[in-house]
Chain A
Amino acid sequence: MPLLVMRDIEKRFQGVHALAKASLEVEPAEIMALIGQNGAGKSTMIKVLTGANARDAGIIEFDGKPVAFRSPQEAQRGGVSTIFQEVNLVPFRSVTENIFLGREHRRFGLLDWPRMNKEAAELLHRFAVDIEVRRPLMDFSTAIQQMVAIARAVSFKAKLVIMDEPTSSLDEREVAVLFDVMRQLRREGVAVIFVSHRLDELFEVCDRVTIMRDGRTAMTSRMADIDKLRLVSAMLGRDLESVRKSGATGFTAAATTAGAEVLAAEGLRIGRRVRDARVEVRAGQIVGLAGLLGSGRTETARAIFGADPPDAGVIRLRGQTVQLKTPADAIALGVGYCSEDRKADGIVPDMSVRENLTLAILPRLVAMGVVDENKQRAIVDKFMKRLDIKASSPEQRIRELSGGNQQKVLLARWLCADPKLLILDEPTRGIDVGAKAEIQALIRELADQGLGVLMISSELEEIVEGADRVFVLSDGRTVADLPRDQVTAPALMAAMAHVEMLERETTGG
């Protein structure tokens, strides 16, 4: 008997179907992949299951009984725990406190710390995580924090753990640890729903896969019976041939040669994360900024945008040495910056698509302090059409859009400012395959029209296929500067790894 049955689930937002006759079945002790493009309904499906959203119709049975959880807390008590992309714990409190929050052990009416610390350590040890549980959670990496979240879920006697893109902020080693944890959960009889955009990961760890498309369940299959190509085609709803023809990304080769220098930064030093970074971007070029997590890529980008002024170093924009104190300074000089964290640094959730799209150029749409709404609407219409942004209207609140469409709005926010240099930090993170290819193709098109692009990406294939030149950062230093013909995956990895070995040798000897 299946552990979870969701059948004929319907959910409408403002009359628009987010889910239509969607279904999902999970067996006990199975790792089920849940995939689909952004807006396909994965998140909504999970929210309906955990009670974050009420369903409009459909049946949910869990552990043989019909259920209707009214909140994620209730779902947790009922045996369904969710690990979110952003860890939902209390950073200032200790690991133990986070695990036992809300159901602390007591003795004589007081909190029994020794017992809780011991149990927390044992719990984490089961997942091969041995840390000092009395230290505050924020002392640890995102990966460890996720392990703590999982341990917390397990200690709730969860029968089903939902992981919503848990790997998006982890590096490879951490991902491997997470997969071990998932397998351990399976051995203990716990089922896992695993949402991820990285297809390779699914094959590595999942038993079955459920593919969603346009709010429906498009396909369910055993992982062993399906290949990557078929997965992609089921997600996109395209036939196999058209998928096979396009490359792994939406990038095509550069149409034009590089023009004048738009950015040159040298000797950048920012806090402890960036020690000696150098980048150069010319008009019409996509320059990749590669490096492992924590290598200082985002910090470098933020310095060039004036968000965190550097402690040392020179930044030249279009030939002129500049001192950027705020993002507004950089924007005035024709720089745009799409941050990697859409939610925290990008969208203003309660504002409309229109307001979000024009946020950066608002001062230019103003006469005597009053916003010219006709001008504003014209620009919004133009870019919504050009980028094929799917929203019920420009007045829809941006929080209601899918991740891919949110990202397009944020891209449009900068494109309508007509920048000379656009800094993109993980432009396709957390975005479905279809929108990803669209955004990649768009980036290339913009570069061909003369825009200089500085692109940070953790996906090697994005750098390899997209970039005309790549700077590799390692430990806050620029360690390689590769022209297009030398940009290959092995070369990049060698550049990242080589220096790490050197470092160790020098510090060791």
Chain B
Amino acid sequence: MVDAPIAARGRRNLGVAVFFRRYAALAGLVVLLAFNFAVTPNFASLQTLNVNLTQVAEIVIVSVGMTLVISTGGIDLSVGSLMAIAGALAPLIFLSPFGAAFPILGDALAFVVPVVVATLLGLFNGWFITRFQVQPIVGTLVMFIAGRGIGQVLTNGNLQVFHNPVFQFIGLGRIFGAPFQVIIMLIAVGLAAWMLRRTLFGRHVLAVGGNERAARLSGVPVDRVKQFVYAISGLCAGVAGLVVISINSSSDANLVGLGMELDAIAAVAVGGTPFTGGQANVIGSMVGALLIQLLRYTLLANGVPDAAALVVKGVIIAGAVWSQQRGRTA
């Protein structure tokens, strides 16, 4: 019925629409880069690149988990609070008498325990949402509020200051000149993108987001898939929390990850993952985060105050959503 030339042309037409939707953020990024090369002084330097990448890495890592959650039709407000808990736990471990006595074991546990705890709390989010059929925005609101409280209780609300080169490698170290957290970021993005495309779990995530009832009737363990997705989001938040305190050489449960949920959600939105679920664009989320970061940098580097940068950030998000909708109807 369908002869080949027509089909081929059809694909090209579709290509334009998909391109618009998927790569609007990328196009914006390219334009912004070009602008900076032309206007911003000292932009074309390795240092500028590293500054921007290190600042964006934590947002990208969190937005990887957020992309997965959003592609199941959910949302995770608790990521910032989970970052605070992870950030509070790590120094408690390596600064403890035990950590001082066995520094290697102490540092290893300071990596592992906070991440595991954040993952389990994420799993709890998923369990809470699926077990009691709570709306994800409400279900994770519980952890959003309680989580930061837990972080503050753990540290008695105190600022923990430290100097621990081994542990801080995660935020300050470099491998072949590349900041370590940027490498973590790229691994997280690559792993998630591959997982979504190639693994059973990834396909189940998209099926659940695309039509939950149909997925259930096809034998997909819907509740378990959702629980895992929130656990992964918790894992990402935990890692990001460690990165942040390493960069700061201190941990303040009041501040670590504050507002991160909104930054991550913004990155996902700009990156082209629809909030209705069923589709995920992890690389898009990374591009979205980069776009927001670079925009802020551009404005600051050219003397625009941070407050004004927030407004521009809002405009960019609106613009991204607009271009995606055009892409969908085109």
B219/A15 in contact, CB under 8 A: no
B218/A413 in contact, CB under 8 A: yes
B10/A327 in contact, CB under 8 A: no
B183 interfacial contact with A, CB 8 Å: no
Q: Which of B8, B201, B210, B217 contacts A337 (CB 8 A)?
A: B217
B218/A327 in contact, CB under 8 A: yes
User: For residues 177 through 213 of chain B, which have their beta carbon under 8 Å from a beta carbon of chain A?
Assistant: 198-201, 203-204, 206-207, 210-211, 213
How close is A234's CB to chain B, nearest CB, in angstroms?
A: 20
Give A331 to B219 CA distance when docked, in angstroms.
7
Residues of chain A within 8 A of B199, CB atoms compared: 366, 369-371
Known contacts A14-B13, A370-B198; is A360 also within 8 Å of B218 by CB?
A: yes
B200/A371 in contact, CB under 8 A: yes
Residues of chain A within 8 A of B206, CB atoms compared: 348, 351, 355
- Size of the B side of the interface (Cβ < 8 Å), in residues, is 31
A350/B200 in contact, CB under 8 A: no
B307 interfacial contact with A, CB 8 Å: no
B54 interfacial contact with A, CB 8 Å: no
A202 interfacial contact with B, CB 8 Å: no
Give A45 to B207 CA distance when docked, in angstroms.
31
Nearest A-chain residue to B223, judged by Cβ = A326
B100 interfacial contact with A, CB 8 Å: no
Residues of chain A within 8 A of B204, CB atoms compared: 362
Residues of chain B within 8 A of A146, CB atoms compared: none
B216 interfacial contact with A, CB 8 Å: yes
B207/A371 in contact, CB under 8 A: no
- Size of the A side of the interface (Cβ < 8 Å), in residues, is 36
Give A337 to B9 CA distance when docked, in angstroms.
37
Q: Which of B1, B206, B217 has the most CB of A within 10 A?
A: B217
A392/B10 in contact, CB under 8 A: yes
Residue interface bits A294-309, CB-to-B below 8 A is 1, else 0: 0000000000010100
Which listed segment binds B: A76-84, A339-347, A434-442, A466-474? A339-347
B7/A369 in contact, CB under 8 A: no
User: For residues 356 through 374 of chain A, which have their beta carbon under 8 Å from a beta carbon of chain B?
Assistant: 359-360, 362-363, 366, 369-371, 373
Q: Which of B1, B10, B217 contacts A390 (CB 8 A)?
A: B1
A347/B214 in contact, CB under 8 A: yes
B279 interfacial contact with A, CB 8 Å: yes
How close is B218's CB to chain A, nearest CB, in angstroms?
A: 4
Residues of chain A within 8 A of B215, CB atoms compared: 348, 359
Q: Which of A349, A360, A373 contacts B211 (CB 8 A)?
A: A349
Residues of chain A within 8 A of B214, CB atoms compared: 344-348, 359
How close is B169's CB to chain A, nearest CB, in angstroms?
A: 30
Q: Which of B1, B14, B278 contacts A350 (CB 8 A)?
A: B278
Give A413 to B219 CA distance when docked, in angstroms.
11
B216/A362 in contact, CB under 8 A: no
Give A277 to B227 CA distance when docked, in angstroms.
36
Residues of chain A within 8 A of B217, CB atoms compared: 305, 307, 327, 337, 339, 345-346
Nearest B-chain residue to A358, judged by Cβ = B203
Known contacts A327-B216, A327-B219; is A348 also within 8 Å of B207 by CB?
A: yes
Q: Which of B14, B216, B218, B221 contacts A14 (CB 8 A)?
A: B14
B11 interfacial contact with A, CB 8 Å: yes
Known contacts A345-B213, A370-B199, A371-B198; is A328 also within 8 Å of B10 by CB?
A: no
How close is B190's CB to chain A, nearest CB, in angstroms?
A: 15
Nearest A-chain residue to B201, judged by Cβ = A369
User: For residues 8 through 29 of chain B, which have their beta carbon under 8 Å from a beta carbon of chain A?
Assistant: 8-11, 13-14
B2 interfacial contact with A, CB 8 Å: yes
Residues of chain B within 8 A of A362, CB atoms compared: 200, 203-204
A224 interfacial contact with B, CB 8 Å: no
Known contacts A14-B13, A362-B200, A371-B199; is A392 also within 8 Å of B2 by CB?
A: yes
A350/B279 in contact, CB under 8 A: yes
B278/A16 in contact, CB under 8 A: no
B301 interfacial contact with A, CB 8 Å: no
A393 interfacial contact with B, CB 8 Å: yes
A328/B219 in contact, CB under 8 A: yes
B46 interfacial contact with A, CB 8 Å: no
How close is A400's CB to chain B, nearest CB, in angstroms?
A: 10
B220 interfacial contact with A, CB 8 Å: yes
B175 interfacial contact with A, CB 8 Å: no
What is the interface of chain A, defined by CB distance below 8 A to chain B? 12-16, 305, 307, 326-328, 331-332, 337, 339, 344-351, 355, 359-360, 362-363, 366, 369-371, 373, 390, 392-393, 413
10 A–B contacts, CB within 8 A, in A order: A14-B13, A15-B7, A16-B6, A305-B217, A326-B216, A345-B214, A348-B211, A351-B278, A359-B207, A371-B203
In the complex, the 5 A-B pairs of residues with the closest C-beta atoms, listed nearest first: A15-B10, A14-B10, A348-B210, A328-B219, A331-B219
A370-B199, A392-B2 known, 5 other contacts, Cβ within 8 Å = A327-B216, A351-B278, A355-B207, A359-B214, A369-B200
